[in-house]
Amino acid sequence: MPTATRTAAEAGYDGHAPFPRPAAPARAGIVPVTLTAAIVIAPFLALGAGIWLAWGSGITLTDLLLAAVFYVVTGLGVTVGFHRLLTHRSFTARPWLRVTLAVAGSMSFQGNLIDWVAVHRRHHAFTDQPGDPHSPYRYGTGLGGQLRGLAHAHLGWLFSSEPTSATRYAPDLLRNDPAMLRISRAFPALCAASLLLPFAAGWAISGGLYGGLTAFIWAGLVRIALLQHVTWSVNSLCHMIGERPHTTRRHDRSTDLWPLALLSFGESWHNGHHSQPGCARHGRGSRQIDPSAALIDLFERLGWATHVHWQPADVLGHPRMVAGKHTLRTSTRPSTPGRR
């Protein structure tokens, strides 16, 4: 992870002042801004349409089940695939599993996977200091600055004119991983599939076009909006509200926020994650539920994941919270396929 400019950034930052603006800010093009606006706003508008339809019984059990399935699959694609596998390399996956997770994550409407990885690595390199693409402390720690920063960290940063260089932050995927490059380039097609699949499933199950349309709205657009806002809440709320029980780098204000643990598949144990970014499990102890880690554990048991980085007990920040089998493992342990 790049560290070259970290010292310089830290040297001039006191932890409270607004981040300095770039000397010559680049202008975001109209096309990317329009596309981003469409991706952000359309699913949200669908929520209104969905509620309006539901008023006239325009929602069925099929819609809800399809929405749940697509939410879980695409959500785990982001948390297990984009985040823990591709960004932090917390484990090694069989090639077919790596592709499957990357495709599932790409269907979440959160940008192509290489840009996602690059932005997130930059966030870890400059957490809550100048250079962080989505810190809620960008406008300082005063009340007005905090509110403005919260909006920026949640959504505003998507419209920022400070692009993150994939060449610098994700060279491993860009140059040496043709499968990931192809999936990254297929992002628009995968977005279309993410909407068409629920529509087709709803139509097939209900036997009518209306069933396809309600599934399109609930399991397509509304599901996308919910997952987007949960993911963005990890960027915004999980750097402002919650507990900070673990030791992190200077200026890092990441938090653990339990109400989001299930919906975010364990990603809201964000302080735990920032304290040990390479660990496959973000929760600490058996009480901090982490469905993404449970899935990686299952993959390891099936022999589909190897070299999983579980946190060893002796490096945990809070020994009193040590519990559960994960803490008993060594940090990197190759598993034997089919051993269990």
CB of 134 vs Zn ion, minimal distance in Å? 8
Cβ nearer to Zn ion, comparing 254 with 268: 254
CB of 83 vs Zn ion, minimal distance in Å? 6
Cβ nearer to Zn ion, comparing 217 with 238: 238
Query: How far apart are the C-alpha atoms of 297 and 301, rounded to whole Å?
Result: 6
When CB distances to Zn ion are compared, the closest residue is 254
CB of 211 vs Zn ion, minimal distance in Å? 39
Stretch of 105-113, 132-140, 152-160, 247-255 lying at the interface with Zn ion (CB under 5 A): 247-255
Instruction: Establish how many alpha carbons lie within 13 A of residue 248's alpha carbon, considering only the half-sphere containing its beta carbon.
Output: 23
Cβ nearer to Zn ion, comparing 194 with 292: 292
Q: Give the tokens for residue 103.
A: 């495709």
Going from the C-alpha of 158 to that of each of 152, 154, 267, the distances in angstroms are: 8, 9, 20
CB of 272 vs Zn ion, minimal distance in Å? 11
CB of 87 vs Zn ion, minimal distance in Å? 6
Number of residues that bind Zn ion (CB under 5 A): 1
Cβ nearer to Zn ion, comparing 59 with 280: 280
Cβ nearer to Zn ion, comparing 2 with 303: 2
Please calculate the CA angle 288-129-89 and round it to the nearest 5 degrees: 50
CB atoms within 10 A of CB 55: 9
Binding mask 249-268 for Zn ion (x = CB under 5 A): -----x--------------
Stretch of 74-82, 133-141, 165-173, 248-256 lying at the interface with Zn ion (CB under 5 A): 248-256
CB of 219 vs Zn ion, minimal distance in Å? 28
Cβ nearer to Zn ion, comparing 177 with 256: 256
Helix ranges (DSSP H) in the chain: 6-11, 30-55, 61-76, 95-106, 113-125, 143-154, 166-169, 171-176, 178-185, 187-206, 209-215, 223-236, 270-275, 291-302
Let me know: does 253 contact 128? Beta carbons within 8 Å: yes
Torsions phi, psi for 256 (to 5 deg): -95, 125
CB atoms within 10 A of CB 320: 7
Binding region for Zn ion (CB under 5 A): 254
